[in-house]
Amino acid sequence: MSTLETTGAAAAAAALPKRPFNFSRWFRATGWRHIVGLVMVVFACFPILFVLSSSLNPQGTLTGSNALFSKIGLDSYIRILSSPDIPFANWFANTLIVAGITAVASTFLGALAAYSFSRMRFTGRRFGLISIVVVQMFPQLLAVVAIFLLMSAIGDWFPAIGLNTHAGLIMVYLGGALGVNTFLMYGFFNTIPVSIDEAAKIDGAGHARIFFTIILRLVAPILAVVALLSFISSVNEFVVASVLLIDPQNQTLAVGLTKLVSNPRYADWSAFSAGAVISALPVVALFLWLQKYIVGGLTAGAVK
Amino acid sequence: MTSAIDDEVRTDGAPPKKPTKRQRQAAAIAEAASGSMKVLLLKIVLLGIVDAVALYALFVLVGAEQWIVAGVVLVVAAIVNWIYFSKRKLPAKYLTPGIIFLVVFQVFVLLYTGYVAFTNYGTGHNGTKEQAVSSLMASSLQRVEDSPTYPVTVVDRGGELGLLVTDPDSGDAFVGTSDEPLTEVEASFDGDRAVATDGWTSLQFADVLNRTDEITELAVPYSDDPNDGALRTPDGSSAYRYISTLEYDETAGTMTNLETGVVYSDTGVGAFTSENGDQLLPGWQIVVGFDNFVRAVTDPRLANPLVYVTLWTFAFALISVASTFFLGLFLAIVFNDMRMRGRKIYRVLMILPYAVPSFLSALIWAGMMNESFGFINQVLFGGASIPWLTDPWLAKLSILIVNLWLGFPYMFLVCMGALQSIPDELQEAATVDGARPWAIFRLIKLPLLFVTVAPLLIASFAFNFNNFNVIYMLTDGGPRDSNAPIPVGFTDILITMVYKVAFTGQLRDYGLASAYSIIIFVIVAVISIIAFRRTKSLEELN
């Protein structure tokens, strides 16, 4: 199997004087890799092209969307944004609000915890770290019945944070703030030399000043990764959101769009596609923009 | 702010020593010198807000007579104040906010799930016995044939409707709502009809028309005794006495149907039950012990789905991890060649599925795989009608394909990182020793790779074990198993089964759903313990 050409050999090959092009040698070395690449690109991108095409179809049902890019128009975008039956703009705003606040707040709470675990030695520290690992192994969606009952009880006394409120949903999401993300951050905090803290302390800085003005800036890359991962997972979260947010006006994209195409046969497929494109755009853009950090964060986790 | 206990901040790995008095004094002076007034003010303002919220919550909870919850709020507020005003407790200052949310929304709800699993909570059993009695009485009301006509005025107090009733015999005015029985009040009269009373807004004719449905539903209890019946008004201006066809005997704890004479008694199953087993619903919530668990594993109509759902959950999670990992690894090897051009473009295009929110991807695939209208059948298979999502086995295959699409980019990225972290020297040394590339890969690189990615594979298994979105959005668990009494299907995994039992269908069985949750907890816990033993991941936590 020639999959394992050494990188050393590659460097040596590059240094050699140019040889005449030989197709079979090229194919054995890298050409077949392009074939694999093209097949995978088709597999990976096809559904995305399909939804892009049907979103541009002015009046498309599911069947009508099968002829790719046969009609081009922005009607379905206008339809989903202005239809009185589909509060799409509300869903979009709700999702941005809920996922945005959750991302920022849960990253902050996680950073606070990671700072204390990384920089301080106290009784119960090891126990605390292990408990966080163990507790977050049981995902919240398993306890969704209890969450629903708890939030409906809270709603009886404090309607502002009970069922059917975004504040309540955000609070539930923050229950998972000290989960696995704390670990990712904890590892990263440990790589910041303690001597920086000490130098600042000698200059008279308190722990809060060290945390807010020095540490948080040094760990900015991991904060970005954690915030982004948290944002994406809140955008994707369906179970808790569908149970807590009853009123269609209050729902998030995951809940609203899923109900919208619960029967793809009768649904306005191109309007849904337009909604899907609008919803995916900010996440995909953020993802591609922060791609470098994400890959770094994943592999940092991988080789930890 | 407080840097009082400096040795709590890490200087080395050594355990902290108790500070001496001199050290404490020095720390206090340093603290005073470093903490500015602004910071102190901010701290006081923030704590003030927390305390104000807690105080408000206390008032509401005491008003609702929720003593236990009020006590918890009080204790938590006190602890928070103590932590943030103390000069010590430095780690606690950083951990408390997160821990409060963790304890309420993760630890508490887990314990509460455990409690609900031992109750019959669900449709028809979601209140106390008193609530069940009054709701049964209200639902079986029948108009008394020769009842007098009571002139009424519909009144409103903060959105809650009430009836202002004039007794036709005495001419006295009474007011009551669906919760509060009639009580005598002072009222102003128009002729022999009371039309207004203090604290209530009388509804005008147009309002009455607007809220007809609410008004005809309204039943105001005549007195504290549910057997006295209630007043209802069909038109908003005159009310009639209604008496329940059920009679409640509080001392014997029985309900008697006055028309049929059947006696329903409280036999301890959470509902009034007749001798031949008929139940009057709604019943009430009781603790049923292990009934839900016993039912889940012994009732054949429930046990059979539980077995195949559990098997499919494992198969789904294992195959998903294996397929995404091997495809990701293969691609990482293919694209880990410096001579290849355009690797960056390939990488960006191939990780796109990872960037699109997965609920959207699953919905899009559901459209493409639609049997009669989807792209795959219509275009790729030239109009065939392959039941991708409606045949039990094909639906499973479709789910695995879509989950492969969703998951391979992550494994690709992870394997790229892990491969690049393996030093090239190893490979060169092996090549010098005469090893073939395949042997180098199998005997050197793969073991090294597994060491680094093993924790991620376990995490990925755990994630897929509860991968709700892909199942729910793609097949909704279908095709449905018509033999099961719960809405379960052939591609449901455990977590979607919990959701369906609890939140879809006519009968919501919170007790059974929580029992399933507990079963999943146990499975996850056993797997985690084994996995941790094997990988010794916790050893890293020094």
B463 plus B328 within the same structural domain:
yes
Alpha carbons A189 and B43: distance in angstroms, whole number: 25
B183 plus B133 within the same structural domain:
yes
- Chain centre distance of CA B404: 28
Q: Is B183 exposed, middle or buried (0-12, 13-18, 19+ CB in 10 A)?
A: exposed
Do A208 and B1 make contact, defined as CB atoms within 8 angstroms?
Answer: yes
Cβ–Cβ < 8 Å for B129, B284: yes
Cβ–Cβ < 8 Å for B31, B87: yes
Top pLDDT among B225 and A151 is at A151
Is the peptide bond preceding residue B282 cis, with omega within 30 degrees of 0?
Answer: yes
Q: Which amino acid is at A145?
A: V
pLDDT score, position B6: 41
pLDDT score, position B286: 83
Contacts of B444 in chain A (CB under 8 A): none
pLDDT score, position B440: 85
Contacts of B370 in chain A (CB under 8 A): 62, 264-265
β-bridge mates for residue B152, sequence order? B165
Does residue A296 form part of some domain?
Answer: yes
In chain B, the N- to C-terminal Cα span, in Å, equals: 28
How far away is chain B from the Cα of A130, in angstroms, using its nearest Cα? 7
B260 plus B402 within the same structural domain:
no
Q: What is the ipTM of this complex?
A: 0.87
Does residue B1 form part of some domain?
Answer: no
Question: The tokens 């299907």 sit on which residue?
Answer: B489
Characterize the bridge pairing of strands B263-266 and B272-273. Answer: antiparallel
Does residue B82 form part of some domain?
Answer: yes
- Chain centre distance of CA B30: 48
CA triplet B391, B395, B400: central angle to 5 degrees?
160
pLDDT digits (tens, 9 = 90+) for A96-114: 999 999 999 999 999 999 9
Does residue A212 form part of some domain?
Answer: yes
- Chain centre distance of CA A72: 31
Which residue among B117, B151, B167 closes a domain?
Answer: B117
3-state secondary structure A125-172: HHHHHHHHHHHHCCCHHHHHHHHHHHHHHHHHHCHHHCCCCHHHHHHH
Contacts of A5 in chain B (CB under 8 A): 337, 339, 437
Contacts of B104 in chain A (CB under 8 A): 171, 175
Q: Which residue, among B173, B9, B192, B190, has the nearest Cα to B94 in the 3D structure?
A: B9
pLDDT digits (tens, 9 = 90+) for B168-210: 888 888 888 887 888 888 888 887 788 888 888 888 888 888 8
Total domains in the fold of chain B? 3
CA triplet B54, B55, B57: central angle to 5 degrees?
65
Does residue A75 form part of some domain?
Answer: no
B50 plus B103 within the same structural domain:
yes
The predicted model gives B139-151 an average pLDDT of 78
pLDDT score, position B268: 74
Contacts of A29 in chain B (CB under 8 A): 337, 339
Does residue B9 form part of some domain?
Answer: no
pLDDT score, position B26: 67
B91 plus B139 within the same structural domain:
no
Does residue A269 form part of some domain?
Answer: yes
Q: What percent of chain A has pLDDT over 70?
A: 90
pTM of the model: 0.81
B220 plus B342 within the same structural domain:
no
Domain that holds residue B207: 129-280
Which runs of consecutive H residues, i.e. helices, occur in A16-87? 23-26, 32-55, 75-82
- The CATH number of the domain holding residue B249 is 2.40.430.10
Total domains in the fold of chain A? 1
B89 plus B143 within the same structural domain:
no
Q: Which amino acid is at B492?
A: D
Do A302 and B414 make contact, defined as CB atoms within 8 angstroms?
Answer: yes
Does residue B5 form part of some domain?
Answer: no
B381 plus B402 within the same structural domain:
yes
Structure tokens at A294: 């994400």
Does residue B15 form part of some domain?
Answer: no
- The DSSP secondary structure of B406-433, one letter per residue, reads HHHHHHHHHHHHHHHTS-HHHHHHHHHT
Rg (CA), chain A: 25
Contacts of B528 in chain A (CB under 8 A): 134, 137
Q: Which residue, among A108, A109, A115, A100, has the nearest Cα to A228 in the 3D structure?
A: A100
Nearest to A112 among B97, B113, B413 (CB): B97
Q: Give residue A251's pLDDT band: very low, low, confident or very high (50, 70, 90).
A: very high
Do A135 and B106 make contact, defined as CB atoms within 8 angstroms?
Answer: yes
pLDDT score, position B3: 40
Does residue B16 form part of some domain?
Answer: no
Question: The tokens 């699409």 sit on which residue?
Answer: B405
Tell me how long chain B is.
542
- The CATH number of the domain holding residue B476 is 1.10.3720.10
Q: Which residue, among B137, B32, B485, has the nearest Cα to B299 in the 3D structure?
A: B485
Does residue A13 form part of some domain?
Answer: no
- The CATH number of the domain holding residue A94 is 1.10.3720.10
Cβ–Cβ < 8 Å for A136, A179: yes
Alpha carbons B269 and B506: distance in angstroms, whole number: 21
Alpha carbons B316 and B323: distance in angstroms, whole number: 10
Do B541 and A130 make contact, defined as CB atoms within 8 angstroms?
Answer: yes
Top pLDDT among A136 and B495 is at B495
Which residue among B71, B90, B117 closes a domain?
Answer: B117
What beta strand segments (E) does B268-407 contain?
A: 272-273, 279-280
Q: Which residue of B has its CA nearest to A269?
A: B367
How far away is chain B from the Cα of A247, in angstroms, using its nearest Cα? 16
- Chain centre distance of CA B194: 48
Do B98 and A205 make contact, defined as CB atoms within 8 angstroms?
Answer: no
Does residue B153 form part of some domain?
Answer: yes
Q: Which residue, among B506, B504, B459, has the nearest Cα to B477 in the 3D structure?
A: B504
pLDDT digits (tens, 9 = 90+) for A137-183: 778 888 999 999 999 989 888 888 989 999 999 999 999 888 778 88
Alpha carbons B363 and B359: distance in angstroms, whole number: 6
Top pLDDT among B17 and B65 is at B65
Maximal C-alpha separation, chain B: 114
Other CB atoms within a 10 A radius of the CB of residue A21 amount to: 7
B232 plus B378 within the same structural domain:
no
* Whether A295 contacts chain B with CB within 8 A: yes
pLDDT score, position A303: 38
Cβ–Cβ < 8 Å for A68, A50: yes
Top pLDDT among B130 and B474 is at B474
Q: Give residue B404's pLDDT band: very low, low, confident or very high (50, 70, 90).
A: very high
Q: Give residue A304's pLDDT band: very low, low, confident or very high (50, 70, 90).
A: very low
Cβ–Cβ < 8 Å for A162, A279: no
At residue B5, does pLDDT exceed 50? no
* Whether A82 contacts chain B with CB within 8 A: no
Does residue A95 form part of some domain?
Answer: yes
Domain that holds residue A149: 85-302
SS3 state of residue B292: helix
How far away is chain B from the Cα of A254, in angstroms, using its nearest Cα? 6
Q: Give the single-character DSSP code of B371.
A: T
Alpha carbons A133 and A222: distance in angstroms, whole number: 19
- The CATH number of the domain holding residue B47 is 1.20.58
At residue B542, does pLDDT exceed 50? no
B135 plus B262 within the same structural domain:
yes
Cβ–Cβ < 8 Å for B296, B379: no
Tell me how long chain A is.
304
The predicted model gives B497-519 an average pLDDT of 89
SS3 state of residue B231: strand
Structure tokens at B190: 């128009």
At residue B155, does pLDDT exceed 50? yes
Cβ–Cβ < 8 Å for B246, B227: no
Q: Is the dihedral of CA B211, B212, B213, B219 positive or negative?
A: positive
SS3 state of residue B110: helix
How far away is chain B from the Cα of A163, in angstroms, using its nearest Cα? 14
Q: Give residue A18's pLDDT band: very low, low, confident or very high (50, 70, 90).
A: low
Q: Which residue of B has its CA nearest to A295?
A: B413
B112 plus B134 within the same structural domain:
no
Cβ–Cβ < 8 Å for A7, B338: yes
Average pLDDT, chain A: 84
* Whether A92 contacts chain B with CB within 8 A: no
B254 plus B388 within the same structural domain:
no
**How far is residue B70 from each of residues A168, B57, B144, measured CA to CA in Å?**
19, 8, 45
**How far is residue B523 from each of residues B212, B252, B519, B520, measured CA to CA in Å?**
53, 45, 6, 5
Alpha carbons A119 and B331: distance in angstroms, whole number: 40
Cβ–Cβ < 8 Å for A300, A229: no
Contacts of A8 in chain B (CB under 8 A): 424, 427-428
> What residues contact B98, with CB distance under 8 A and at least 6 apart?
A109, A110, A112, A113, A174, A177, A178, A182
pLDDT score, position A4: 44
Q: Return the H-helix or E-strand segment holding B520.
A: helix B510-535
How far away is chain A from the Cα of B428, in angstroms, using its nearest Cα? 8
Alpha carbons A214 and A237: distance in angstroms, whole number: 33
